[in-house]
């Protein structure tokens, strides 16, 4: 026989009735109703947000200090004039840039558009400014975007510059 909605009930002993206190001295929870005798806790005078006399959290937290985004993506930048040092028809990627000491040892690489480029280069980086992409392609080269090391998700909190690509 199938079970029906009106047949459902909690397991025996899993639900207990709420204790009703303050109903006379005849049973448990009479007289002081579990609040002890006298004092702040026995009276209705303590505010729900009272923290026992310590400085409240609303006064401990710093005010108007701004916001630092933990998911900010930071790049090691390189400009077009630095790419001019490479031979024509070569591939420039973060590893070759690091080998020459042109970008930081770790982190993502972004190419910016300061300066001019006259050689045809294949530039591989994690990001390009629009001016840099345009200048590379008008010089006869290619701008290839490398995928972020964390994939299509958001970057890790605090320090995507520490990733090793």
| Domain spans of the chain, in order of start | 75-153
For the stretch 12-56, pLDDT in tens is 999 999 999 888 888 788 888 888 888 888 888 888 888 888 999
Placement of tokens 């397991």 in the chain: 11
Average pLDDT, stretch 112-133? 91
Which region holds residue 156: left if phi is over 0, alpha if psi is between -120 and 50, else beta? beta
In this model, does residue 123 exceed pLDDT 80? Answer: yes
For the stretch 10-24, pLDDT in tens is 999 999 999 998 888
CA-CA-CA-CA dihedral for 141, 73, 156, 153, to nearest 10: -60
Measured between alpha carbons, how far is 73 from 76 in angstroms, rounded to an integer?
10
Average pLDDT, stretch 115-125? 90
Which of 69 and 78 is assigned the larger pLDDT?
A: 78
Give exposure, 75-102, as e/b (b: 16+ Cβ within 10 Å). bbbbbbebbeebeeeeebebeebbeeeb
Decide yes or no: CATH 3.100.10.10 for domain 75-153. yes
């Amino acid at each position: 026989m199938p079970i029906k909605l009106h047949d459902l009930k909690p397991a025996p002993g899993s639900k207990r009735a709420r204790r009703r206190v303050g109903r006379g001295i005849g049973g448990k929870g009479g007289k002081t109703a579990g609040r002890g005798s006298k004092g702040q806790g026995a009276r209705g005078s303590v505010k729900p947000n009272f923290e026992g006399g310590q400085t409240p959290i609303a006064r401990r937290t710093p005010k108007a200090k701004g916001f630092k985004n933990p998911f900010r993506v930071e790049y090691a930048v390189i400009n077009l004039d630095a790419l001019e040092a490479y031979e024509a028809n070569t591939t420039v990627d973060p590893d070759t840039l690091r080998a020459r000491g042109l970008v930081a040892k770790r982190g993502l690489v972004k190419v910016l558009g300061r300066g001019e480029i006259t050689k045809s280069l294949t530039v591989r980086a994690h990001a390009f400014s629009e001016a840099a992409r345009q200048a590379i392609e008008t010089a006869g080269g290619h701008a290839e975007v490398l995928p972020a090391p964390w994939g299509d998700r958001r970057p890790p909190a605090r320090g995507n510059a520490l990733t090793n690509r």
